[in-house]
Amino acid sequence: MANSKSSCCSILSSNHIYYVAPLLAIAIALALFLPPFLGTSPSPSLEIVNKEDDIEIPVNITTAVDSIGTRPRESFADLKSAFDRWDTEVGCTHFRDKFRRLKVDESAVQQTKGGDCSELKLDHVSVWAKAVAWVPDILDGLYECQCGLSCLWTRNEVLADRADVELYQYYYPPDTRKIGEPLRAFMELEAWRAPSKHEDIFISYHSSSDVQATYAGKTFRIDVLVYWSSSRCLDHRDKTAKAFLSLILHHSFGRCLNNVGGNDTALTMYPDCQMEENLIPHWWDHLHCAMSHYKFVLSIENTWTESYVTEKLFYALDAGAVPIYFGAPNVWDLVPPNSIIDASKFESTEKLAEYVKAVAEDPVAYAEFHAWRRCGVLGNYGKVRLASLDTLPCRLCEFASKKGGRNAPSTQ
């Protein structure tokens, strides 16, 4: 025993402590920072620090999502009681502390407030939405914008008499324009389309365009675990959906992988979502309402590329569900902290499905996926909504005013 004790003490002697200390530090760090469940975390990178004597010391702040798998699994359908339990076990103060130094790329979203009013050359701009396919009619109207600028957005050619901007989305604008003719704005929110090089103003989902228009443009009920709906049956998207949905209880609406008996079945499944003013109802009329019956919504983008985050994710957030997301690699720059389950963080579809099932049976952890909206922790999300299609009229008019409208230089 004496020899054993002597041997033990010699390891921690001053001659060896410099070798052991780093190993101990690494072991402690791994124990503290590795997520306890499935070896993954749904959250973006964090930089949480405490300050002592002006020295920043990293601190690990754990919340309910970090400890999934440590609580007994239980079925639950009462979100209110789940929120109450989360408030008791975690709470908004702790949640805010965790995400107060969240790193996001602010350049992913254009600045929509402020600006130099002296750059405006017109005090009124009219936009004729001349060739648009699915831009909602509800945007039509007269807007009071920043710096006293008024903005008319209309599909009516007569109301847009001597329009300053003609908006194209369905097809490309003319090749050239002369001084005195309306500026040509071209809007393309799909990932595979580039500027036509015929337009004066290019509008897209990306912050590098002249004017950005994000897809973020609002309740919760629980039934079957996962909602999925798609009527554009792309091979790669259907393959991803099929692999995941085969592992979990779900309802699939729309034409692709339908398992509920038809496209309009949702109308009879959820009569409370029926829109009475529609004489001939369609399943898409109550998209948000139908989603709100599910804990999760599967959201798979058509194209997986930077900043291309579409209504497939934002509809789910608005409906009060948790999106299971396949898509943009920088999605965390555009959504609230801890609001989605990012499929890219999982090494296999099986582990993703097991994680979703675990969250579905952990009311405290599930409630934490809604903490951002209850605690007011937005990240870049507030800016994303301000840069959405809802605010496009004023932002397009402001850009057109800075160019001088019809008096902008000719492209000939």
Query: Both 178 and 267 in a single domain?
Result: no
Number of domains within the chain: 2
Q: Residue 237 domain-assigned?
A: yes
Q: Using pLDDT thresholds of 50, 70 and 90, give the confidence band for residue 104.
A: confident
Asked if residue 269 has pLDDT above 90, the reply is: no
Question: Per-residue pLDDT for 183 more than 90?
Answer: yes
Calculate mean pLDDT across residues 170-180: 87
Domain ranges, residue 132: 117-213+389-407
pLDDT score at 343: 96
pLDDT at 53: 44
Same-domain pairing of 282 and 144? no
Contact yes or no for 180/147 (Cβ under 8 A):
no
Judge whether 49 lies within some domain: no
Residue 223 in this model has a pLDDT that exceeds 60: no
Q: Which of the four pLDDT bands, split at 50, 70 and 90, describes residue 337?
A: very high
Query: Bigger pLDDT: 65 or 10?
Result: 65
Predicted pLDDT at 64: 95
Share of the chain above pLDDT 90, in %: 44
- Mean pLDDT (the chain) is 80
pLDDT at residue 285, as a whole number: 59
Residues 240 and 193 in one domain: no
297 plus 160 within the same structural domain: no
User: Do 257 and 397 belong together in one domain?
Assistant: no
Over range 162-176, report the average pLDDT.
88
Residue that wins the pLDDT comparison between 349 and 411: 349
Band of residue 280 on the pLDDT scale cut at 50, 70, 90: low
Return the closest-CA partner of residue 330 out of 311, 347, 344.
344
Task: State whether 200 and 234 are in the same domain.
Answer: no
Q: Is residue 55 part of a domain?
A: no
Residue 253 placed within a domain? yes
Nearest to 335 by CA among 401, 383, 295, 278: 383
Residue 7's pLDDT is 35
237 & 365 share domain:
yes
Give residue-wise pLDDT tens across range 366-378.
Answer: 999 999 988 888 8
Query: What mean pLDDT comes out for the span 282-304?
Result: 81
Residue 91 lies in a domain: no
396 and 352 both lie in a single domain: no
Instruction: Verify that 170 and 209 share a domain, yes or no.
Output: yes
* pLDDT at position 389: 87
Residues 351 and 234 in one domain: yes
- In this model, does residue 14 exceed pLDDT 90? no
Give the span between the Cα atoms of 348 and 361, in whole angstroms.
20
Q: Do both 230 and 166 map to the same domain?
A: no
pLDDT higher than 60, residue 4: no
Is residue 101, in this structure, part of any structural domain at all? no
The answer to whether position 369 is within a domain reads yes
Q: Are residues 269 and 394 in the same domain?
A: no
Least confident of 40-44, 237-241, 321-325: 40-44
Assess whether pLDDT exceeds 70 at residue 5: no
Select the more confidently predicted residue: 235 or 223. Answer: 235
